[in-house]
Amino acid sequence: TPVLLWLRQDLRLTDQAALLAAIEAGPVIPIYILDDDTPRQWAMGGASRWWLHHSLSRLDESLRAKGSRLILRRGKSAEILAQIAAQVGAGSVHALHHYEPWWRNAEKAVAQTLDLRLLDGGLLLPPGAVRTGGGGMYRIYTPFSRAVMTHMPPPAPRPAPDHIPAPASWPDSDSLDDWGLLPTRPDWATGFGQDWTPGEAGAQANLADFRDEAPDYATARNLPSIEGTSRLSPHLHFGEISPATVWHHVTGSDEGTKIFLKELIWRDYAHNQIVGFPTYGSANARGEFDALPWRDLREAKADFTAWQQGRTGYPIVDAGMRQLWTSGWMHNRVRMIAASFLIKHLLIDWRHGAKWFWDTLVDASYANNSVNWQWVAGSGVDANMFVRIMAPLVQSEKFDAAAYIREWVPELADLSDAHIHDPDAHGVRPRAYPAKIIGHREGRERALTAYRHAKG
Ligand code: FAD
């Protein structure tokens, strides 16, 4: 009897424990279900859909090269799996664990009617594998990371199978093009294709490129003007590469490599937090933030739009927001600056910013996005203090963002390194570039007053 392989954010053949287990159990029917019902408000955003289209297309090619193919269906995961299982008489469903609250609910629903076999492999360690002395989940990153390190390296990645046994007949499949995952009018994703190659081969290429540069990561990772990070985030998010594979390929004992592997552990940490606190994406992890008097979005609409469009008058923020829109990704340092600017200088609730990132990032991840936004806001379990307000102009100079600004804010391309971070202050702002929508000191004071109010 055939078995079902339920694919979600694990679109790979290498180091894919569920695929290997399925092959042991019988002829395999690989299925991807486009499910917008189960996640509800967390249905995939536009940029992720662009990625998904290309990733599924590549995965189908890889499966065909191994004698198999990808079945595409649309609807509620549990219902579709039950239908297909009944139709083909499938014995079991094989899948990797996923920790978004809606996936955990869907797994429960599937397991009520089918023999669901869940395996690990999306994280370095399954959530809860390391525990505090008292037996609880870690809430703070540093001790969590130390505990994870004692279990590293992860098991060696397992190679892709040579051949995947096919069933005697295949169930119906939708056509990928009919899903309309790619933008049409207007096509805002033309820049994505220049920067990204979704799929396993693209992931391996980014890993190979980064491997030799890892020793420089300690300083390079903070400099948006150079490509100092791995750019693996969308590949990791869609599971085109396993974190164990990344770990085993970036192996130096130098400082840069160590810091890089700690960042990879942040990804595990974030997924642990959404298991402990499933509403991390919509509720403040620290209750006192519920009393923070955010500006009403109707009143702050013009400011929010200026932020989204990269027209705040703060070149580093604007460069980041335009990089996000054009390429579906933003440098980590700039994500922190842009998020902090929205939350503190504009006093707009972090959830509005997180939602925009959710729609525009190709690596949009419920765990990483929610945990990082709450980290910046100060409302997270382990977070930066709200009163530590990043000064965007100082950050821009300190991390040498001039070339980055020239790339993404062409109106400022002719300004010198000395002037480009703050053209207003030097009286050299070109007319095409907006004035600051709020002064740094004014924004800072308003944020601190709001915070004092929340603290009572
Ligand atoms: P590298 O520096 O090469 O790091 C390697 C990998 O480690 C990344 O691919 C990622 O999987 C993981 N990682 C690195 N930093 C973090 C971090 N701070 N938290 C969790 N994992 C991390 N990352 C996402 O993957 N999805 C998101 O939706 C997301 N939203 C963010 C929102 C904000 C406001 C901020 C400040 C950060 C966010 N991040 C998110 C984290 C981080 O910015 C990206 O993971 C990183 O920029 C991706 O680039 P890279 O692959 O070159 O990273």
Six token digits for residue 259: 């810091």
pLDDT for 287: 93
**Domain layout of the chain by residue ranges:** 1-121, 122-154+199-276, 287-455
Per-residue pLDDT reduced to its tens digit, 136-167: 999 999 999 999 999 999 999 999 999 999 99
What is 122-154+199-276's CATH topology? 1.25.40
- Atom nearest to 338 CA in ligand 1: 34
Query: What whole-number distance in Å separates Cα of residue 57 and Cα of residue 310?
Result: 32
Q: What is the Å distance from ligand 1's center to 60 Cα?
A: 27
Q: Residue 304 annotated as binding?
A: no
Average pLDDT over residues 33-55: 97
Query: What whole-number distance in Å separates Cα of residue 53 and Cα of residue 315?
Result: 33
Residues forming a β-bridge with 116:
93
Report whether pLDDT(303) > 90.
Answer: yes
- Atom nearest to 363 CA in ligand 1: 26
Per-residue pLDDT reduced to its tens digit, 407-422: 999 999 999 999 999 9
Q: Which of 27, 228, 21, 276 minimizes the C-alpha distance to 127?
A: 276
Minimal-distance CA residue to ligand 1 atom 11: 233
Which ipTM score applies to this complex? 0.99
Minimal-distance CA residue to ligand 1 atom 43: 332
pLDDT for 410: 98
- Band of pLDDT at residue 456, cut at 50, 70 and 90: confident
User: Between the CA of residue 11 and those of 3, 122, 434, what are the distances in Å?
Assistant: 18, 11, 42
Q: Residue 251 annotated as binding?
A: no
Q: What is the CATH number of domain 287-455?
A: 1.10.579.10
- Active-site residue, 294 included: yes
3 contacts: CB under 8 Å, gap ≥ 6:
22, 25, 26, 27, 28, 29, 90, 91, 92, 93, 94
Report whether pLDDT(225) > 90.
Answer: yes
Query: H or E stretch including 71?
Result: strand 71-74
Q: What is the Å distance from ligand 1's center to 118 Cα?
A: 26
Report whether pLDDT(135) > 90.
Answer: yes
Query: Which one is the CATH code of 1-121: 3.40.50.300, 3.40.190.10, 3.40.50.620, 3.40.50.720?
Result: 3.40.50.620
Among 219, 332, 341, 343, the mutation site with the greatest number of ligand 1 atoms within 8 A of its Cβ is 332
Q: What is the mean pLDDT of the chain?
A: 97
Report whether pLDDT(296) > 90.
Answer: yes
- Active-site residue, 307 included: no
Minimal-distance CA residue to ligand 1 atom 34: 373
Six token digits for residue 319: 């460069």
- In the sheet with 71-74, reading across from the earlier edge strand, the strands are 71-74, 28-34, 3-7, 93-96, 116-119
